[in-house]
Amino acid sequence: MLQIGPYKLPNPVALAPMAGVTDLPFRRLCAELGAGLVVAEMVSSNPRLRDSRKTLWRSRHDEEIQPRSVQIAGNDPTEMAAAAVYNVAQGAQIIDINMGCPAKKVCRKAAGSALLADEDLVQRILTAVVAAVDVPVTLKIRTGPTPDSRNGVSIARIAEDAGIAALAVHGRSRACAFRGQVEYDTIAAIVAATQIPVFANGDIDSAAAAAAVLASTGAAGVMIGRAAQGRPWLPGQIAAHLSTGLTPPDPSQAEQLAIMYRHVCALHDFYGEFMGLRIARKHVSWYLQGRPDYAAQRSVFNQLERAADQLQHLQQLAPGHSNETHSNEVIAA
């Protein structure tokens, strides 16, 4: 059983922190459908941003989802330590440090994966954060700044020495972003060089892929990112396969529509109608990918300007079901 500090996870499948995606409604849904760990969207260590609307949304945590893992991002050891203390006071049970995000707006501030180029600063940040809080501290990294300067093994050893409780490794460099082959061999080298649990991350989009990655890397678990968008059941599906060797079938079309409907309702409730219906658009787009009428449905849905209209449209997607019948299915799901 994979353990992070005092927390024994129900399974070794984690939902990756994704800005603009892993908000409370999505984390709650993925946890309900079987993810072993869900990590919140990154929040800035900058104290001046703590009362911004975006940070307040990202800082809301569900008491029912435990352990509550909160990711912080920044480049100043003192500020990062203070951010960890603040978030623990707000209910975080695990602090995750972001050194994996390749987004330009994050790296321009010398945060995220940009930090990997400065091993001394990495060491100072990790040491400061671990010393500041009494909860487990985890770390998300990439394999290095560029393919020609991979230092993932070195960073992992620094992390272990600093007291990091678990490590997630996206198997690409910062420069590669999400392009090219995932370096599972580098993840394997990191696993071999450390004693702490390592989550393998990158292009794991099925139960078979997860099993193959675990077999080739020796990692303790897998972390699912973009593949879970529109498929919140995927982490649980992978967990079931790793436990039993059998892969549960995808939810039926009716079940998927019911999940999507509940998700959109939760977004409306969480964000309010104005932002909720806008955020629902991208999630519904992900859910509907693969349908033959995807482009048309997406176009229609994205033009709807009332929450009630979005819900009515989703009810009408179920073939052979009246609005009343599908509504009852959704409520029961």
pLDDT at position 173 is 81
pLDDT at position 329 is 42
pLDDT at position 230 is 97
- Read off the pTM: 0.90
Mean pLDDT of 120-125: 96
Q: Are 113 and 101 in contact (CB under 8 A)?
A: yes
pLDDT at position 326 is 40
pLDDT confidence bin for 87, thresholds 50/70/90: very high
For the chain, what is the mean pLDDT? 89
Q: Which residue has the higher pLDDT, 225 or 174?
A: 225
**Rg value, the chain, Cα:** 20
Residue 228 token pair: 């879970």
Q: Which residues on adjacent β-strands are paired with residue 223?
A: 14, 201
Mean pLDDT of 175-195: 91
pLDDT confidence bin for 18, thresholds 50/70/90: very high
pLDDT at position 59 is 74
Please give the Cα distance from 233 to 279 (Å, whole number). 20
Helix 184-193 / helix 152-162 crossing angle, nearest 10 deg:
30
pLDDT at position 112 is 66
Please give the Cα distance from 12 to 326 (Å, whole number). 34
pLDDT at position 45 is 83
Q: Which residue has the higher pLDDT, 177 or 94?
A: 94
Residue 100 has pLDDT above 90, yes or no: no
pLDDT at position 188 is 97
Q: Which residue has the higher pLDDT, 288 or 180?
A: 288
pLDDT at position 43 is 87
pLDDT (tens digit per residue) in 200-224:
999 999 999 999 999 999 999 999 9
Please give the Cα distance from 273 to 269 (Å, whole number). 7
Mean pLDDT of 154-172: 96
User: Pick the catalytic residue: 30, 101, 176, 265?
Assistant: 101
Q: Are 5 and 212 in contact (CB under 8 A)?
A: no
Please give the Cα distance from 68 to 81 (Å, whole number). 18
Classify residue 137 by its DSSP letter. E
Angstrom CA distances, 225 to 2, 168, 198, 270, stand at 19, 12, 15, 22
Mean pLDDT of 135-160: 92
Strand 137-142 versus strand 7-8 pairing type: unpaired
101 given a catalytic annotation: yes
Nearest to 117 by CA among 79, 155, 66, 64: 155
Domains of the chain listed by start with CATH number = 3-244 (3.20.20.70), 253-332 (no CATH)
Residue 330 has pLDDT above 70, yes or no: no
pLDDT confidence bin for 319, thresholds 50/70/90: low
